[in-house]
């Protein structure tokens, strides 16, 4: 394997020493999970999607989403918002979070986000997206990046025009998910459009969509020429995907790092970190779907998940994991 694909990326005045990114995933990429992914080789991580309006209103709950894990030297804060006015009001609080990068979400397809003109609704209004980016880049030297889709639907594929508008606004990096908003997460991601995007612009381009293994990530890099890859659903319960990809890109021997024993051990590390950051009661309640994701496709996993969803304390989880490993 030619290791030219594993490289540093310059995002404005920031250098990321690697090109394997963890996507912002609501309800998943909290401090604990981001920390686990960094331990397993993620080059750069993004916060969960943060409401710029809530930031502007100084919501304490929202501020917590912007806090760094202890091993997180770099952090991209991803915000969603409908217009430049919201950006202007949010900037003071946003800058207090000391982000490495500010990412504008123009790809989220969720109705409650889209109906307010945010997320992938901005694909329909590239000029508004440009003004949002321009407003933020006019107030800070922190690089602004943008995550978007190929278009609103198959009748309005406008990613090249959108990307051009974003760059004119001052975007330093483009991340594209190879699906339209109307596709959601169904069907195949359009890697050909990602390749086309990369060939049309000089700023770094990161590709997303249908990356569920290290082999997928390498294939995307080789076939599209992107500067980096963004792991989203493929990283759920699978933080090992980062080190497997790095090993594959560098031609290193990849040990069996995702056996069920190691998955359970990592799940335990995950909940331990969550308890450290959130307290036992909150962590044990919120982490169920994250822990269940480690068990996908494994022998006896249905019964294991059944126990996980009923657990209430750290002691409960410990007993469940110990029992499973003793089978």
Q: What angle do CA 45, 51, 55 make, to 5 degrees?
A: 100
Please tell me the distance from the alpha carbon of residue 196 to that of residue 125, in angstroms, as a whole number: 21
CA dist 113 → 30, 56, 220, 278 (Å): 19, 17, 29, 26
288-323 core/surface letters (b: 16 or more CB in 10 A; e: else): bebbbbbbeeeeebeebbeebeebeebeebeebbee
Q: Are 194 and 176 in contact, with CB atoms under 8 Å apart?
A: yes
Please tell me the distance from the alpha carbon of residue 180 to that of residue 155, in angstroms, as a whole number: 10
And the tokens for 314?
């750290």
Please, which residues have CB within 8 angstroms of residue 239's CB and are 6 or more apart in sequence? 33, 36, 37, 39, 40, 42, 266
- Give the three-state DSSP class for 229: strand
- Give the three-state DSSP class for 169: helix
And the tokens for 51?
């409401």
Q: Is 292 a catalytic residue?
A: no
What residues are paired with 20 via a beta bridge? 229
Q: DSSP strand E in 224-284: where?
A: 228-231
54-83 core/surface letters (b: 16 or more CB in 10 A; e: else): bbbeeeeebeebbebbeebebbbbbbbbbb
Catalytic position from the list 37, 108, 284, 292: 108
Task: Decide: residue 280, CB within 10 A, 0-12 exposed, 13-18 middle, 19+ buried.
Answer: middle
Please tell me the distance from the alpha carbon of residue 101 to that of residue 254, in angstroms, as a whole number: 31
Catalytic residues: 108
């Amino acid at each position: 394997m030619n290791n030219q694909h594993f490289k540093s990326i310059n995002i404005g005045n920031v250098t990321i020493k690697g090109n394997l990114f963890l996507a912002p995933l609501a309800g998943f990429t909290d401090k604990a999970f981001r920390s686990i992914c960094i331990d397993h080789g993620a080059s750069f991580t993004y916060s969960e999607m943060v409401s710029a309006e809530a930031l502007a209103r100084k919501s304490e709950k929202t501020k917590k989403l912007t806090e760094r894990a202890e091993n997180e030297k770099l952090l991209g804060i991803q915000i969603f918002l409908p217009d430049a006015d919201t950006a202007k009001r949010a900037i003071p609080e946003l800058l207090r979070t000391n982000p490495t990068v500010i990412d504008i979400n123009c790809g989220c397809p969720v109705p409650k986000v889209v109906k307010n003109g945010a997320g992938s609704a901005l694909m329909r209004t590239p000029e508004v997206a440009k003004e949002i980016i321009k407003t933020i880049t006019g107030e800070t030297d922190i690089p602004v990046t943008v995550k978007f889709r190929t278009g609103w639907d198959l009748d309005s594929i406008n990613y090249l025009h959108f990307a051009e508008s974003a760059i004119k606004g001052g975007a330093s990096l483009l991340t594209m998910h190879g699906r339209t908003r109307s596709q959601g997460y169904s069907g195949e991601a359009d890697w050909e459009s990602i390749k086309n995007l990369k060939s049309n612009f000089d700023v770094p381009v990161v590709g997303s969509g249908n990356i569920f293994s290290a082999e997928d990530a390498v294939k995307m890099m080789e076939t599209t020429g992107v500067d980096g890859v963004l792991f989203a659903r493929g990283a759920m319960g699978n933080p090992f995907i980062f080190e497997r990809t790095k090993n594959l890109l560098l031609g290193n021997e990849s040990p069996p790092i995702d056996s069920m024993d190691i998955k359970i051990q990592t799940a335990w590390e995950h909940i331990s970190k969550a308890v450290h950051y959130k307290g036992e009661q909150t962590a044990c309640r919120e982490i169920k779907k994250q822990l269940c994701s480690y068990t996908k496709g494994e022998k006896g996993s249905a019964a294991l998940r059944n126990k996980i969803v009923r657990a209430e304390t750290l002691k409960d989880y410990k007993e469940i994991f110990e029992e499973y490993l003793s089978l």
